[in-house]
């Protein structure tokens, strides 16, 4: 068990290293460098470009710069932005905190509701609760996020005046100052993630309830709700762990559309702004952070699935 855990951690670390190498190589392969992108390839003179490259230490071989960047990233130092003065860790830190706040609020609102609705629709398949909830879920899945976000702004902010339509709080403000501006983005994200997770749980519950061991329990006279809570749900909810993990990684990686529509100062919007400003060091750092989040969340989901599934746990212990 411990050996398997160490092996998965090592694989995750190797994955992050490969991703960081790909990100760095991709930035190096692009025409020009951070200085030509920042100052303008045709407008900046040679003196300015030379000074910028000296400030950003771009004259050294790429392999040396990658080594310094990777070792600095391990210590939490992502280097300087393209202006040569602002620390990337300072810029990204506030945005990551804001994306984390948005993700946590959406998870607390959406995941329990999705699990509950998935169980209800699975147990009452093809009945009225299933038809109504499944129809609403398909509607939430098919409507683009920017459309549902715009509709909510129109109804709750412009017509009713109950909630702010956009977020005006600065990126470095404390978490408490984002309320109530954060409520509409949380509602939109909860609707989208709830629909996807609910459909997954519904299918899993239907499959488990039709399995042979549930039919055998029914024939032996096991009370229905005891059978559901003791035997069906523990197995039906296992596949949902990976779906929830991917959803969490999607939320933590910055939900670009929602953050842009609501003017929310999160990681996704910083990525768009950095691309527009041609701030390649910041883009490179955000890509590494997002990749690390995906690796860590998927690793946690795999471990949780293995711990919750005796069959998988036994299989790994025998290896």
**Three-class DSSP labels, 100-114:** HHHHHHHHHHHHHHH
Tally Cβ neighbours within 10 Å of residue 265: 22
Separation between Cα atoms, residue 80 and residue 284, nearest integer Å = 11
Model confidence pLDDT, tens digit, residues 278-308: 677 788 888 888 888 888 888 888 788 777 7
Residue 67: is its pLDDT beyond 70? Answer: yes
Long-range contacts of 65-70 (CB under 8 A, 24+ apart): 66/21, 66/24, 69/24, 70/17, 70/20, 70/24
Q: What is the DSSP string of 212-229?
A: HHHHHHHHTT--HHHHII
**CA distances (Å), origin 237, targets 3, 243, 308:** 27, 10, 10
Model confidence pLDDT, tens digit, residues 171-226: 888 888 888 888 999 998 888 888 888 888 998 999 888 888 888 888 888 888 88
| pTM score, whole prediction | 0.80
Structure tokens at 81: 């932005």
Model confidence pLDDT, tens digit, residues 100-155: 898 889 888 888 999 999 999 989 988 898 899 988 888 888 888 888 888 999 99
* Residue 166 neighbours by CB under 8 Å, 6+ apart: 153, 181, 262, 263
Separation between Cα atoms, residue 48 and residue 50, nearest integer Å = 5
pLDDT at res. 117: 92
**DSSP letter at 32?**
S
What's the length of the chain? 319
Residue 29: is its pLDDT beyond 80? Answer: no
Q: Is 225 exposed, middle or buried (0-12, 13-18, 19+ CB in 10 A)?
A: exposed
Residue with tokens 């969340």: 297
Residue 214's Cβ-side half-sphere holds a number of Cα atoms within 13 Å equal to 21
**CA distances (Å), origin 222, targets 120, 143, 193, 235:** 20, 42, 34, 17
* Residue 112 neighbours by CB under 8 Å, 6+ apart: none
Residue with tokens 């999160």: 266
Backbone angles phi, psi at 84, to 5 degrees: 75, 5
């Amino acid at each position: 068990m411990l050996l398997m855990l160490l092996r998965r951690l090592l694989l995750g670390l190797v994955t992050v290293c490969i991703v960081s190498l790909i990100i760095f190589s991709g930035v190096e392969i692009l025409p020009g460098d951070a200085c030509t992108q920042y100052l303008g390839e045709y407008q900046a003179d040679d003196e300015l470009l030379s000074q910028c490259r000296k400030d950003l230490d771009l004259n050294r071989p790429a392999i040396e710069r990658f080594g310094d960047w990777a070792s600095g990233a391990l210590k939490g130092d992502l280097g300087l932005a393209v202006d040569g003065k602002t620390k990337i860790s300072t810029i990204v830190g506030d945005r990551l905190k804001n994306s984390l706040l948005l993700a946590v609020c959406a998870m607390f609102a959406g995941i329990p509701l999705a699990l509950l609705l998935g169980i209800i629709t699975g147990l009452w398949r093809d009945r009225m609760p299933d038809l109504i909830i499944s129809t609403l879920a398909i509607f939430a899945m098919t409507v683009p996020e920017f459309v549902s976000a715009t509709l909510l702004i129109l109804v709750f902010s412009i017509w009713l005046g109950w909630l702010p339509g956009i977020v005006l709080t600065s990126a470095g403000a404390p978490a408490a100052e984002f309320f109530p501006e954060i409520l509409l983005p949380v509602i939109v994200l909860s609707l989208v993630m709830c629909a996807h997770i609910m459909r997954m749980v519904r299918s899993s519950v239907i499959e488990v309830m039709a399995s042979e061991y549930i039919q055998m329990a029914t024939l032996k006279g096991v009370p229905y709700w005891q059978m559901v809570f003791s035997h069906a749900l523990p197995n039906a909810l296992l596949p949902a762990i990976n779906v929830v993990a991917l959803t969490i990684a999607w939320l933590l990686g910055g939900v670009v559309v929602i953050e842009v529509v609501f003017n929310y100062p999160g990681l996704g919007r910083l990525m768009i702004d950095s691309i527009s400003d041609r701030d390649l060091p910041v883009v490179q750092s955000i890509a590494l952070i997002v990749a690390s989040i995906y690796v860590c969340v998927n690793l946690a989901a795999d471990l949780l699935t293995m711990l919750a599934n005796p069959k998988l746990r036994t299989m790994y212990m025998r290896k």
